[in-house]
Chains A and B, each alone.
Chain A
Amino acid sequence: MDILFAALLLVLAGGLAPLALHRWLSAAKVAHVSLVAAGCLTGLYGVYAAWGQSTPVLFSCPWLHSLTWSLSLDSLATAFLPPIFLLAPVIALYSYDYLDAVEHAWRTAVNHFFFSLLVAAMVLVTLADNMAAFALAWELMSLSSYALVLYDYEREETQRAAHLYLLFTQTGALLVFAAFGLLAQSTGSLAFAQIQLAPQAAKTAAFFLALIGFGSKAGVFPLHIWLPHAHPAAPSHVSALMSGVMIKMGVYGILRLYFLLNDFNPLFARTVLVLGMVSGVLGVVYALSKREIKRLLAYSSIENIGVIFIGCGLGMVGLSSGNRIMAAFGFAGGLLHVLNHALFKSLLFMGAGAILHTVGARKMDQLGGLMKTMPVTGRTFLAGSVAISGLPPFNGFVSEFLIYYAAFQGLGLQGPDFLLSMAAIIALALIGGLAAGCFTKVVGIVFLGEPRREHAHAATDPGPTMGAAMTLLAVACLGIGLWPEPFIRFAFAGLRDLAPLAAVSADVLGAVPHNLAVIARVFVGLLLALTALRRLLYRGKPVSQNTTWGCGFTQATSRIQYTGASYSLSIVDFHRPFIKTTTKFAALVRIFPGATQYSRKVEDLAEIGLHRLLVRPVLKIADKLRWIQHGHIQLYIGYIVFTIAALLLVV
């Protein structure tokens, strides 16, 4: 634990140093990157050191006389800490070249400060061992990320997005704290260890309250509304950290509470599983329909959170039905997907950031052909796209395979659990296919083909630290795919300290990791062999260049290329009841038609629902209550007096 404290101090120092050094921007940035990196490496060492110990490491100290501040490092925390410690230095490295505006030196320093604060807060959230510590860390995390989103605070769009985010995160926190309050009231203690003593009704209520709260942080389907607004507004390295790492804290919260409750109610399991399937499938369908890269990536995060939820939900179903193997594979798949998604989603956000930084265009249909002008970004983005589509030999496949494995185990169950397992498999297959469709769209439209607008010609690869960060992550994605054994064992080790799963050791794994590794390597070997064969076949053959065959049409311009909207049109239309599209198109009427316009808008069903069911009624009520506010300060004081008197009388 001491090592982790040292790590936290280093990370926080990495946040404070830029504030002091902001007059010398480069020095500030170097200090930030090196201190954060040093802190995170120390933290990784600390996690590694604690891994070998069979009992959780505990720490507690009194705080403000009445509260205790207690932390613990058990196996679940060790599973969630590495993504934080691995990604933070890489993202900090990326931000070195990304935040290069000299005129914004102070702003950059503040951004670095909150970045460090967010990293430290996330570490504390995973370490917290009582409600007070958790709540404090959780709030710290929410507020520092809110400040990070507000980087471009002059822009109105950013302000709106940040406020929306604050609203969601605070409402979520409110519900989580309400759940804690319920539990604390019934057990009379703030300690996590006492939670399992709570009565059944309190447990159920607390779980669902917390599920909504944590779910809104994680971005599960009907609660995801802040994500697609906050990510495009935030700077890309912040999106990478928030989408790659921070939203996983919601998953962590649910898992932590689920195991603390020690109540394997099938209702919890089925709810989580169904939420996972809904947000997985709808997330990717909405992602397909989006035109801005970062918004698309935000929806794809919702999809991946869905996949993680499917894994965890299958694990919970396994626990509630007594199928331990299914439980172990489900949870392990979910945990590994947390790490994997952190890697490739950060990579993709970095790629999107690189495009924004050098080209400045957000819409995909204005880009094209960037693979030639931005080779590093293009290649790493391609690797990330294959990985996020869950295709071998990259890392996304490994975790999805574990989840599939759990789901197939669930087919041996009876009744609704069987049906849910079956639905989970179909949902995973659909998600896999749709995600491949979605990311072929991004890669194909943005990086391949010909530039669609002039400014896309001028693109160049971004600065060296950005390229290095992206390359590191791409290599990590392929590395986990080719050497999955240690990582699968890492995910299973995350379940070690969880009482119901303690009996299931890594034996159930059998040869699974080995087989995955062998196939991935055989495939890569075969690919290399074929490449060599192809080179041999082309020796001495005439190879020439020409324009693309236009099927007889010779006046092709770059504007006749398929756009992202047309690429995804039929898939999106197929899911129509769940996705609302409005098309505006003036039909051609005359023989020589003039200029016409076509526009297509996709609205989020959850947003419409929220507006209709919550915002509008609340506004209506607020409208009716307007008479309360009439500007006389004396009356306001009177309100206060009355309220206090009433409270004193009643309570």
Chain B
Amino acid sequence: MESVVSFGLALLLAPLFPGVILKTKALFAGKQGPPLLIKYFTLIKLLRKGSVYSASTTFVFRLGPLISCAAAIMALLFFPFAGTAPLIAFHGDVIMVFYLLGLGRFFTIVAALDTASPFEGMGAAREAFFSTLAEAAIFVVLILFFRMNGALSLAAYFSGSQPISIIGSQGALLLLVIVALFMILLTENSRVPVDDPATHLELTMIHEVMILDHSGPDLALIELGAFYKLFFYASFIACLIKPPPLADPVANTLLFYGVIMLLYMVVGVVESIMARLKMDLVPKYILTAFALVFFAVILTLEIV
């Protein structure tokens, strides 16, 4: 029951936090910014509309939003929010989660190519390239975590006798991992140094340009999927830096969402003070994240 509630809460609250990013950015720019609930309003607005489809598209184009959203929801099913047991957990489920997210990406890319637009092809090519590198980096994180406590499951990482946490015995290594994971979060969710969600020049976009032709409820599904994906990565990092769990589940949940709020604010700050990287520097950026984690793994050879 607790698991169902925490999963439902995550589904419900995930669209709130991107509003936090917008608010932070607005505050940095000295503006008042949109209301915190802006993303909910956007979703409702989109859901009430109809759609215009390009004559070039086929059923694949309509399948894209469905699969990417379903994959993101599936990822949340495995996640132990605020320490409560997730709905599904087994040894090896992380591999499943990242491959499901990969499936979502596959269909987003294919849907983009379905429009016959050169811009969307450009975005698709970039997405395919960068996410491959990011995936390799993520699997190195999994290797490190397996070295640390022998688990291969999201739930087991953060529970049991040796939970992986910054306050554990290997905090210094985790610092590297957290930095790297944050870089991966920015990459995988098309945030600033890699992709600029607020720009209006299609040539420089990655994710936004791929969904140019979607509209109405389809676009709402994509947006929702993107919120869930971002929330998944943020929760991953939040579990690493969260202080030890409190006895009271309500307080624990509040603490967890507090940390997540903080993370989204950091994303907002990063977006305000950094410029987008030149496209050909992005691989180096992701490789740096990869190097950080790989390096942490090599250190476990000696320290563990």
Chain A residues near B (Cβ < 8 Å): 368-369, 371-372, 378, 382, 386, 389-392, 397, 401, 404-405, 408, 411-412, 418, 422, 425-426, 428-430, 432-434, 436-437, 439-441, 443-445, 448-450, 510-512, 515-516, 518-519, 522-523, 526-527, 530-531, 534, 537-538, 541-551, 556, 558, 560-562, 566-571, 574
Contacts and interface: CB of A to CB of B under 8 A. Distances in A.
A490 to B, nearest CB: 20
A405 B93 CA distance: 11
B90 interface: yes
B265 interface: no
Contacts of B146: 408, 411
Contacts of B105: 436
Contact of A426 (B120, B122, B136): B136
A568 B132 CA distance: 13
Contacts of B55: 545-548
The 4 closest A-B pairs by CB, nearest first: A562-B121, A444-B113, A433-B132, A541-B50
What does DSSP make chain B's interface, helix, strand, loop or mixed? helix
Interface stretch (B24-32, B166-174, B213-221, B252-260): B213-221
B136 A429 contact: yes
B138 A429 contact: yes
B96 A392 contact: yes
Interface string B47-81: 10111111111111010011101110110010000
Interface in B144-171: 146-147, 150, 152
A523 B74 contact: yes
Contacts of A418: 301
B60 A448 contact: yes
20 contacts: A369-B116, A389-B102, A425-B140, A439-B106, A443-B60, A443-B110, A445-B113, A449-B116, A515-B92, A518-B88, A527-B66, A537-B47, A541-B51, A541-B217, A548-B57, A551-B202, A558-B116, A566-B121, A571-B129, A574-B283
Given A538-B50, A538-B217, A549-B212, A444 B124 contact: yes
B115 interface: yes
Contacts of B88: 518-519, 522
B132 A391 contact: no
B295 interface: no
B213 to A, nearest CB: 6
A391 B150 CA distance: 25
A537 to B, nearest CB: 4
A448 B58 contact: yes
Point out which of A378, A426, A444 has the most chain B C-beta atoms below 10 A from its C-beta: A444
A332 B127 CA distance: 33
What does DSSP make chain A's interface, helix, strand, loop or mixed? helix
A549 B54 CA distance: 8
A404 B95 contact: yes
A369 B113 contact: no
Contact of B139 (A429, A449, A515, A549): A429
Given A411-B147, A436-B105, A441-B128, 17 more contacts: A378-B58, A386-B106, A401-B95, A425-B139, A425-B143, A433-B128, A437-B132, A510-B91, A512-B91, A519-B93, A523-B70, A527-B70, A534-B218, A534-B221, A541-B50, A545-B55, A562-B121
B116 A434 contact: no
Point out which of A389, A426, A430, A556 has the most chain B C-beta atoms below 10 A from its C-beta: A426
Interface residues of B, number: 79
A371 B113 CA distance: 12
Contacts of B115: 449, 548
Contacts, number: 233
Contacts of A428: 139
A518 B96 CA distance: 12
Contact of A574 (B49, B103, B129): B129
A548 B216 contact: no
B176 interface: no
A551 B118 CA distance: 10
B223 interface: no
B14 interface: no
Contacts of A392: 96, 99-100, 103
B53 A519 contact: no
B53 A440 contact: no
Interface string B260-303: 00000000000000000000100100000000000001000100
Point out which of B52, B93, B139 has the most chain A C-beta atoms below 10 A from its C-beta: B139
A534 B66 contact: yes
B124 A432 contact: no
B116 A390 contact: no
Contacts of B53: 543-546
B129 A549 contact: no
Nearest to A559: B118
B109 interface: yes
Contacts of A566: 121, 125
Given A371-B58, A449-B56, A566-B121, A440 B92 contact: no
Contacts of A530: 66, 69-70, 221
